[in-house]
């Protein structure tokens, strides 16, 4: 069994020592391992271990989105909502992996396609959420929501919007006042704002949508001093221009997570 260990030395200098601690236990069990391997090196990996906090899990999940490699999150950070176990139970977790006493959970991912001039398209992917917002300024966004059942046109003015998966519903989404999703769906939140539409109640802050929904967004402020950013899981950001179109929808790729 080949195992890849991913850690981020920039967020905490101790992360490398944590990864080496995991590596030592793997070696005791006769398991092969790689530390922060490149994509060409982890293609034959059976399991990936994320050593750190939720940020490291998100980083690892993004790296492995195109590979059907299950992830075990070991929390060395603070909250560790996305992690399955803690640093105090590393050996117990490794033993369960060796004995194959675990199951795999699939997690939906979402993507944002940013369509620019000359048919250029930039794609951002996320496990938790895609957000669109400005920096200390109000942004004006028009949204067209296409679901299997109906189409909606709404607009909002405020800090922006958040589109969260079920996994991400307990992260940025809930901090902004969004609902916790108990089933596969998308949460659409007006961040420090409200949605307005003739098709909905006069005003509303959040909408729960089918996971097959496609959301098309344009900037309606036309203020070059206040162009919003599209941000994926707080890790990647692209500033959009007034003529750009952003399409948010479920990604074809999924992440696999180890559960005990």
Whole-angstrom CA distances from 59 to 8, 10, 54, 114 are: 9, 13, 9, 21
Of 156, 155, 108, 159, nearest to 132 by C-alpha is 159
Pairwise CA distance, residues 178 & 170, whole Å: 9
Which of 41, 54, 88, 142 does the annotation list as catalytic?
54
Pairwise CA distance, residues 154 & 177, whole Å: 19
In sequence order, what are the residues at sequence separation of 6 or more whose Cβ sits closer than 8 angstroms to the Cβ of residue 35?
5, 7, 19, 20, 23
The yes-or-no answer on residue 54 being catalytic is yes
User: Tokens 């940025």 label which residue?
Assistant: 172
Instruction: Say if CB 128 and CB 217 are below 8 A apart.
Output: no
Instruction: Say if CB 200 and CB 124 are below 8 A apart.
Output: no
Q: Where are the alpha helices (DSSP H) in 104-228?
A: 172-175
The residues carrying an active-site annotation are 54
């Amino acid at each position: 069994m080949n195992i890849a260990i991913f850690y981020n030395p920039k967020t905490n200098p101790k992360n490398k020592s944590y990864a080496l601690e995991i590596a030592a236990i793997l070696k005791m069990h006769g398991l092969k391992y790689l530390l922060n391997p490149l994509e060409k090196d982890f293609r034959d990996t059976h399991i990936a271990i994320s050593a750190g906090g939720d940020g490291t899990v998100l980083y690892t999940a993004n790296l492995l989105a195109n590979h059907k490699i299950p992830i075990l999150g070991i929390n060395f950070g603070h909250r560790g909502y996305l992690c399955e176990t803690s640093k105090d139970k590393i050996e117990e977790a490794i033993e369960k992996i060796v004995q194959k006493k675990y199951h795999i959970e699939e997690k939906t991912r979402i993507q944002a396609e940013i369509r620019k001039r000359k048919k250029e398209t930039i794609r951002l992917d996320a496990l938790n959420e895609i957000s669109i917002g400005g920096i200390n300024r109000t942004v004006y966004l028009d949204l067209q929501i296409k679901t299997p059942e109906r189409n909606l046109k709404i607009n909002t003015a405020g800090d922006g919007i958040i589109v969260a998966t079920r996994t991400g519903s307990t992260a940025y989404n809930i901090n902004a006042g969004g609902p916790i999703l108990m089933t596969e769906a998308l949460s659409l939140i007006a961040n420090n704002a409200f949605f307005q539409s003739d098709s909905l109640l006069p005003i509303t802050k959040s909408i729960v949508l089918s996971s097959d929904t496609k959301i098309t967004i344009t900037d309606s402020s036309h203020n070059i001093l206040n162009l919003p950013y599209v941000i994926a899981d707080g890790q990647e950001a692209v500033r959009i221009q007034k003529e750009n179109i952003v399409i948010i929808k479920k990604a074809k790729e999924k992440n696999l997570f180890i559960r005990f």
